[in-house]
Amino acid sequence: MKRLLVSFAMTAATLLAQWGGELRFCLRSDPKTFNPLLVDDEASETIRYLTGGVLIRVNRLTQELEPELAASWKISRQGRVITFQLRRGVSFSDGTPFTADDVAYTIRALMDPALHSPTGDSFRSAPGGIATNISAPNQITIAFPAPVAGLERLFDQVAILSSRSPRKAPPVLGPFVVARYTPGTEVVLERNPHYWKTDAGGRHLPYLDQIRLDIQQNREIELARFTRGELQLINTIDPEMFTRLARQEPALVRDAGPSLESEMMWFNQNPMAPLPDYEKIWFRSQNFRRAISAAINRADLCRVVYYGHAQPAAGPISPANRSWFDARLQPHGYDPKDALDRLRRDGFHLDSGVLRDRDGHPVEFSLITNSGNKARERMAAMIQQDLAAIGIKLNIVTLDFRSLIERISQSFHYEACLLGLTNYDLDPSSQMNVWLSSAGDHQWYPNQKTPATAWEAEIDRLMQAQAATVDREKRKTYFDRVQEIVSDQAPFLYLITKNSLSAVSPKLHNAAPAMISPQTYWNAEYLALAPAQLARNAR
């Protein structure tokens, strides 16, 4: 129904919109690369999204897969093989035809170990090569050495390269091409004259002639330019600015609901960490972790720090991820009495307002977070007051990001850490590096030789089981169980899930902000400017 309404709105708006014009918005930094296979930063991802043609696209609004350059596809041999039927009559931006050779060339380049492609890493399910077989000019089969869970979704990130065109200015299959890049100033994209899509009326897409991406780090300046009408959208806006803008111009702001970004804290459970033994005992206790979780008022964090534009988080998967979110999970409730009960079960007791363990050590620990992140610093200050209410002294330490990463991944010299998490990939297989006990990003105790606890062993087993099958129902059952264990054991205390906030000019038609990235320009080929904006651009 939602999809139908959006389609209707787009069609209606299209009638009002005109072809042409320039859309302007900001990138927060220079793109690190224009090679779509090497993208690992937000600015480069924006360029890839707007210029790259992909075989399959995840619709950001419905989160369903949609055919793009592949007219259809079929997965066989338990997720080891995928066969694409390619769309006919498609050309690159330089006019050369798109064929199965281009897909084979892209896959070979993507999986070249010398390239170190971050996108290619997602396809590496097991050691061994990936074989491509072109059975017809518009049909290609790709075979993997082992099943790849959520295989088809991974192709959303793979922009197809041309096997015949020059390397210096490679042609693209997406709606726009890079026309000009001035470092530190702007990237200008122009419409791809050979783009294959047409709208319902048969008009060639995209509607826009040009997209100008101004490189602007300062978010205040970005907001000021947006309110002056110089920019037509802000893809993500922080809650404080959102609230301010909403007071001035309520029609300009859009809250699309929970995003994929969450904030969490965890305790250092690494037995080799240079911490006193009694602290290690605290941190390894499920009761202690759950008590801390119960003592934190998540509703206040959402209301005070995020101005109401966040939700208390229940687990590792945000409600924005409709396919994998476990709706049965509830956020840990704020209950200081329950917190103290749990602590008493572990021998803790209150002594003149100070919580002490069974050996009399006062409960005091530090929480590290990165300096300069105002929201995180405010959350830490609120957690400090919440924990003080149950007799725990929390010391907040803000560190520059490199020092923080060094502590949590190398020296393990920290007690608790507060950081954020963004899942760009919706599929749980992308989180293997977090949940497997042997993984480096298993933050509370990374790189374990054998699972330290029975519940971590169970998570290992479930994650491997979900990755080894293509049965969607089975995978969901396995991963739901992982989420339940994580919620129960609380190795990560999930605090809040931020809402997806953006600002869109009413002069920009067909914008339908989504919960997942890119929130506002996911349907860039359908975006159109109102006649008034076109006249302003012309001036």
Q: Which residues bind another protein (CB under 8 A)?
A: 220, 240, 244, 300, 303-304, 364-366, 368, 371-372, 377-378, 380-382, 384-385, 395-400, 403, 413-415
In the complex with another protein, which residue's Cβ is closer, 349 or 378? 378
Angstrom CA distances, 22 to 81, 207, 253, 506, 508, stand at 42, 10, 21, 15, 11
Distance, CA of 162 to CA of 36 (rounded, Å): 12
Q: Please state, in angstroms and rounded to a whole number, the distance separating the CA atoms of residues 186 and 181.
A: 6
**Closest C-alpha among 151, 444, 402, 153 to residue 316:** 444
CA angle in degrees (0–180, nearest 5) for 310-288-463 = 65
Contact 25, 232 (CB under 8 A): yes
Per-position b or e across 482-500, b if 16+ CB within 10 A of its CB: bbebbbebbbbbbbbbbbb
Q: Answer whether 232's CB lies under 8 Å from 508's CB.
A: yes
Of the two residues 161 and 380, which places its CB atom closer to another protein in the complex?
380
Q: Hey, how many other C-beta atoms are within 10 angstroms of the C-beta on 38?
A: 17
Nearer to another protein, 6 or 381 (CB): 381
State which residue, 290 or 376, has the beta carbon closest to another protein. 376
Q: In 3D, which of 13, 151, 4, 1 has the Cα closest to residue 70?
A: 151
CB 419 within 8 A of CB 263: yes
Helix, strand and coil percent figures for the chain, each rounded to 5: 35, 25, 40
For residue 283, the minimal CB distance to another protein (Å) is 14
Closest distance to another protein from the beta carbon of 373 (Å): 8
Q: Smallest gap, in angstroms, from Cβ of residue 395 to another protein?
A: 5
Nearer to another protein, 137 or 372 (CB): 372
Is 136 or 389 the residue whose CB approaches another protein more closely? Answer: 389
User: Of 262, 218, 224, which Cα lies nearest the Cα of 244?
Assistant: 224
Of 256 and 380, which CB lies nearer to another protein in the complex structure?
A: 380
Q: Which is nearer to another protein, 415 or 525 (CB)?
A: 415
The single-letter DSSP state of residue 295 is H
Smallest gap, in angstroms, from Cβ of residue 230 to another protein? 18
Nearer to another protein (CB atom), residue 215 or residue 375: 375
Cα 242 to its chain centre, rounded Å, is 20
Query: What are the tokens at 311?
Result: 């939700």
Q: How far is the CB of 419 from another protein (least distance, A)?
A: 15
Q: Which is nearer to another protein, 377 or 458 (CB)?
A: 377
At closest approach, how far in Å is the CB of 156 from another protein? 37
User: CA-to-CA distance for 461 and 455, rounded, in angstroms?
Assistant: 10
> Smallest distance, Å, CB 396 to another protein?
5
Please name the residues in contact with 9: beta carbons below 8 A apart, sequence gap of 6 or more. Answer: 510, 512
Quick one: 334 or 479, whose CB is closer to another protein?
A: 334
255 vs 377, which CB is nearer to another protein? 377
Q: How many of the other CB atoms lie within 10 Å of CB of 103?
A: 26
Is there a contact between 176 and 51 (Cβ–Cβ < 8 Å)?
yes
Min CB(8)–another protein separation in Å: 38
**Closest distance of CB 381 from another protein, Å:** 5
C-beta of 76 vs 395, nearer to another protein: 395
496 contacts 301 by C-beta, under 8 angstroms: yes
Minimum CB–partner distance for residue 444 and another protein (Å): 17
Handedness of CA 108, 110, 111, 114 (dihedral sign): positive
Please state the closest distance from residue 293 (CB atom) to another protein, in A. 19
Task: Characterise 509 by phi-psi region: left (phi > 0), alpha (psi -120 to 50), beta (else).
Answer: beta
Closer of 256 and 394 to another protein (Cβ): 394
> Do 130 and 147 contact (CB within 8 A), yes or no?
no
Q: If we measure between CA atoms, which residue out of 455, 388, 375 comes closest to residue 418?
A: 375
Q: Minimal distance in Å, beta carbon 418 to another protein?
A: 12
Minimum gap (Å) between residue 305 Cβ and another protein? 8
Residue 279 beta carbon to another protein: minimum distance, rounded to whole angstroms? 10
- In angstroms, the CA 127 to CA 301 distance is 44
